[in-house]
Chains A and B, each alone.
Chain A
């Protein structure tokens, strides 16, 4: 029996879960996949938006601006890579320049600080590779970048360190409430109960709402990306946006916190969204990148991927307690700027919505700090050597592109939330995220997983379920 059940291990569920562990509550997280962070929070742009984009008065505007202000210290405490690189909304005509002024005013209404319109020359000095056609930009100095999966994994790991429980492969398919207790059942008939339930199921948040009879429309819009090698990492340093026009927002070109270059996303409405990449989508990304910048280093492409934005039919975040079922809280249709907003959303949900239902007594033992999964890279040579002497596995390189050691991989298999598959190790350590995309390290990582879990190598998967790597032994 728990006090609170959180459904969905994305960044919203993660931040909410962690926020809950600040109080004396028994809490758990239910996630349908083999690992956390398998939805929108894994495949997005990783931008900490300044807040000039959202319509004043919306929840998006409110939480974006708050979240932006919180993010730096939030990320620091959790050891998540964050950089305040600044965003530039680039104009390519006088008409677009006029739109920049509107955006600036809108941002100021939302409470965004540090907005400034800059001319062609200043833009060029900030971004030497910008297209010659660019005429100016809105410079949002509070814009930043973050690793979205590091953030999600760190919040959930930290919550677990503070007592939260995680159930993976738990796909919620039924919810019942009797005598003020919710019983949540999975597709495989496992049951968990609690007095409160928080729906953070992303794209499926509408479906979860329908399980208690609430009607929330949540649809998917696909976004495709291309990722370039770190070797081209200094191609741009800010996040470059097109000026939004009636025809859409275009794509963005940005550095990531790991110094790759990210191009995308497209925006395709889908009835039945999937995360396939398409030739048309990738061609669009390429053509837009070429419009924004001079000679984008596309030869350094290391991968392409897609994510699905879950947007609600209200075109705003839905963050509220159910009007019909008391104790059931929705965080539904949290599309962009949901990543930016997550810490602020979590604080609001717990203080206001959970706090309305239960009394919040602070948990004195709560420790909000988490050692980052990349801690080894940050050590001095002396510290590394001391660690290698104690644990020789830190002296063995497994992933050669990103220089990740066996010790780091064994650690994330052990630590909260434990990595259970190849992609889980990859998101935590970057092993396999480099230019060879796991060609060299995958067999090695699979063996480490098998050995640590004491299972045969054939049972190791790429991302749980039926994603097996091997089909048997050789003759």
Chain B
């Protein structure tokens, strides 16, 4: 191990791997990947279901299969990889302190850093659900780890709160393993998961999805013995009299993912309060020079194919930064307008070459609508959609030609078409 590297990547999930490969192929040969788990692949290791890589490889792979394609590519290059190594801190001048059993606590200096730490699940506590605090309450991802990695069942009769993808996938997985999934409840009037997951994970197994419902009480002293689920009004307040009781021994929470940005904050890198990830330019550079971010640490993706794409971009940009330094910028801001919850990137450097793909999510379910990127009153790009849902990331491409015409801040918004 050396004490300085051209590029250091924090996290060895799909984002970190794709970034490392791309950084290497773009000319920086001393690349170090730091991963805290005992293996590469990140969250994909526990996603043994199919459905990964449809866009990128035009075939349906399992999570580990998708990851292994990148792991092999990384290993085929002269990229230094350290697993079971946790990064403890990062500074704005790109010094990284990490810990492992072999080297103890050590610090490396990087020419550029790529943040690829992924995200974590919101816990029960964050929701203030009333009731007891017994065993049998898991986040869906923890349950997934017990079942798919450790080979243990976390329960037999299950109620799931939240219809995010992990919750949906676990509804099916637990059912296949012989558990009874009694209900999936979702406080919103729509599911935040992918449409295909609702069909394949709930409908195919007759698992009821209760929209506009939330968990109002957990019961049981030692182990969960039951829960109360209530309907909510338009302000998301439980409606008295609508309580349903379920006898169950397990509650799974699938109530959202939060980008894991503790290190980012410790380096003083500004975050967006909409994505809870760093604010970035189109090359995925944060507002601190030479520190880049990609994958779920930047914005929670539903498709890993986009993670890989974003991370390759970050890897190439970091290589360019190390090899060429950076030219003068000409910056405009990109923000979310009506009916759009966020846009990544938040900053556009007009001097950079190439087209720019904007990633964003809408705030609700909309039918027959038009998504528009505007600069002042000027329409830069427009796209009509039959349906747009918060659970699926949207994209718009600004061509190099369009970018040349931009002379002020850009907003992305959605309007429902007049009938």
| Interface set of A (CB-CB < 8 Å, partner B) | 226-227, 231, 274-279, 281-282, 301-305, 381, 384-385, 388-389, 392-397, 400, 403, 405, 435-440, 442-443, 447, 457-458, 461-475
Quote the shortest CB–CB distance from B10 to chain A (angstroms): 12
Q: Could you say which of B100, B142, B178, B216 has the most chain A C-beta atoms within 10 Å of its C-beta?
A: B142
10 contacts between A and B (CB under 8 A): A303-B125, A388-B105, A435-B120, A436-B123, A439-B121, A443-B145, A443-B149, A473-B153, A474-B177, A475-B177
9 tightest CB-CB pairs across the interface, nearest first? A303-B125, A395-B101, A392-B101, A385-B104, A462-B135, A466-B222, A437-B123, A467-B222, A467-B135
Among residues of A, the one whose C-beta sits closest to the C-beta of B100 is A395
Residues of B contacting A395 in the complex (Cβ-Cβ under 8 angstroms): 99-104
Residues of B contacting A467 in the complex (Cβ-Cβ under 8 angstroms): 134-135, 222-223
Given the interface pairs A226-B128, A276-B130, A437-B124, the reply to whether A468 lies near B135 with Cβ below 8 Å is yes
Residues of A contacting B178 in the complex (Cβ-Cβ under 8 angstroms): 475
Quote the shortest CB–CB distance from B215 to chain A (angstroms): 11
Residues of A contacting B154 in the complex (Cβ-Cβ under 8 angstroms): 469-471
Given the interface pairs A278-B130, A302-B125, A471-B249, the reply to whether A439 lies near B101 with Cβ below 8 Å is no
- Do the beta carbons of B105 and A381 come within 8 Å of each other? yes
- Do the beta carbons of A275 and B128 come within 8 Å of each other? no
Q: How many A-B residue pairs have CB under 8 A?
A: 137
- Do the beta carbons of A439 and B135 come within 8 Å of each other? no
Quote the shortest CB–CB distance from B133 to chain A (angstroms): 7
Given the interface pairs A471-B154, A471-B155, A474-B152, the reply to whether A440 lies near B120 with Cβ below 8 Å is yes
- Do the beta carbons of A396 and B100 come within 8 Å of each other? yes
Q: How large is the interface on B (under 10, 10 to 19, 20 to 34, 35 or more residues)?
A: 35 or more
Quote the shortest CB–CB distance from A369 to chain B (angstroms): 27
- Do the beta carbons of B101 and A388 come within 8 Å of each other? yes
Among residues of B, the one whose C-beta sits closest to the C-beta of A231 is B265
- Do the beta carbons of A396 and B123 come within 8 Å of each other? no
Say yes or no for B36: interface residue by CB 8 A criterion.
yes
Given the interface pairs A385-B105, A442-B142, the reply to whether A469 lies near B130 with Cβ below 8 Å is no
Quote the shortest CB–CB distance from B118 to chain A (angstroms): 11
- Do the beta carbons of A469 and B99 come within 8 Å of each other? no
Say yes or no for B156: interface residue by CB 8 A criterion.
yes
Residues of A contacting B84 in the complex (Cβ-Cβ under 8 angstroms): 396
- Do the beta carbons of A301 and B126 come within 8 Å of each other? yes
Among residues of B, the one whose C-beta sits closest to the C-beta of A277 is B130
- Do the beta carbons of A396 and B101 come within 8 Å of each other? yes
Q: Is the interface of A mostly helix, strand, loop or mixed?
A: mixed
Among residues of A, the one whose C-beta sits closest to the C-beta of B249 is A471
Residues of B contacting A466 in the complex (Cβ-Cβ under 8 angstroms): 221-223
- Do the beta carbons of A462 and B153 come within 8 Å of each other? no
Apart from A472-B153, A475-B178, 20 more pairs, CB < 8 Å: A226-B128, A231-B265, A388-B104, A393-B101, A395-B103, A397-B36, A400-B86, A435-B120, A436-B120, A436-B123, A437-B124, A439-B139, A457-B152, A466-B222, A466-B223, A467-B222, A468-B135, A468-B223, A470-B154, A471-B249
Binary CB contact string for chain B from 135 to 163 against chain A (1 if under 8 A, 0 otherwise): 11011011001110111111110000000
Residues of B contacting A438 in the complex (Cβ-Cβ under 8 angstroms): 123, 142
Residues of B contacting A392 in the complex (Cβ-Cβ under 8 angstroms): 101-102
Residues of B contacting A464 in the complex (Cβ-Cβ under 8 angstroms): 222
Q: Is the interface of B mostly helix, strand, loop or mixed?
A: mixed
- Do the beta carbons of A471 and B156 come within 8 Å of each other? yes
Quote the shortest CB–CB distance from A432 to chain B (angstroms): 10
- Do the beta carbons of A472 and B101 come within 8 Å of each other? no
Instruction: Give the CA-CA distance A462 to B178 in the complex, in Å.
Output: 23
Among residues of B, the one whose C-beta sits closest to the C-beta of A462 is B135
Say yes or no for B402: interface residue by CB 8 A criterion.
no
Binary CB contact string for chain B from 168 to 187 against chain A (1 if under 8 A, 0 otherwise): 00000000111000000000
Instruction: Give the CA-CA distance A457 to B86 in the complex, in Å.
Output: 26
Instruction: Give the CA-CA distance A455 to B241 in the complex, in Å.
Output: 46
Quote the shortest CB–CB distance from A461 to chain B (angstroms): 7
- Do the beta carbons of B141 and A439 come within 8 Å of each other? yes
Say yes or no for B132: interface residue by CB 8 A criterion.
yes
Instruction: Give the CA-CA distance A275 to B84 in the complex, in Å.
Output: 39
Say yes or no for B88: interface residue by CB 8 A criterion.
yes
Instruction: Give the CA-CA distance A458 to B153 in the complex, in Å.
Output: 9
Given the interface pairs A301-B125, A389-B104, the reply to whether A474 lies near B222 with Cβ below 8 Å is no
Residues of A contacting B223 in the complex (Cβ-Cβ under 8 angstroms): 466-468
- Docked complex: B90-112 residues within 8 A CB-CB of A: 99-105
Quote the shortest CB–CB distance from B257 to chain A (angstroms): 11
- Do the beta carbons of B130 and A302 come within 8 Å of each other? no
Among residues of A, the one whose C-beta sits closest to the C-beta of B218 is A276
Among residues of A, the one whose C-beta sits closest to the C-beta of B140 is A439
Instruction: Give the CA-CA distance A304 to B126 in the complex, in Å.
Output: 8
Q: Could you say which of A458, A464, A472 has the most chain B C-beta atoms within 10 Å of its C-beta?
A: A472
Instruction: Give the CA-CA distance A405 to B84 in the complex, in Å.
Output: 12
8 Å CB contact of A474 from B124, B128, B147, B238: B147
Binary CB contact string for chain B from 222 to 239 against chain A (1 if under 8 A, 0 otherwise): 110000000000000010
